[in-house]
Copies of this chain bind each other. A is one copy, B any other.
Amino acid sequence: MNEIQKTKVDPRVLRTRQLLKNALIELLEEMEPDKITVNRIAERATINRVTFYLHYRDIQDMMEKMAEEMVLEIEKAMTKTVEEKKTGGDDVILLGLLEHIAANAKFYKVIIGSRGVPIFHERLRDIFVKKINDGVTKHILAEKGIQQDVAVWFGSAAMLGTIASWVRNDMPYSPQFLARQFALLFRREDLYETD
């Protein structure tokens, strides 16, 4: 989960922000979110408390920015896999996502695993809603008497929640295997394009 930079940025701010983010992740592993203070974050990051405020308005602002970065990373991971394996299709996109999550297991276990931080959940849900909204086959829905928005709620929640449980349980299945499970679970519905 590294900083994305095109324009040259003072390496000091990169270092500071990275230290702060690492500190926050560490603290989220160790204690409930409401016990985390700017004091503790700064202390853990070996950064002066005042410096925190030079980068973030408060802890929530920091989390929002981190969630935004996460979204960018995920979208990159999903398109990247499509380019590598030219097959295309949602199965590949899903696999890219799962592999990305597995590669950043520590981060994702903390922010959607254990208790989770709502803001990250929301952003992830947004991603799934968008993806599924595109991939839903409307005529079959209508035929079966299923409302599109309900189907999207259902599918995105199932996806997010299953991945969260997978992460929470320390990923007992490989990304490949889980992607296959999704295909089996979703394809049975004929409502979502999974391959």
A residues lining the B interface (CB < 8 Å)? 32, 34, 59-60, 115-116, 118, 122, 125, 144-147, 149-151, 153-162, 164-166, 169, 172-173, 178, 181, 184-185, 188-191
Contact = CB atoms under 8 A, between A and B. Distances in A.
B173 A150 contact: yes
**So how many copies of this chain end up in the complex?**
2
Contacts of A154: 158, 161-162, 185
A37 B72 CA distance: 34
B150 A181 contact: yes
Contacts of A34: 34, 59-60
A165 to B, nearest CB: 4
A178 B173 CA distance: 33
A155 B185 CA distance: 10
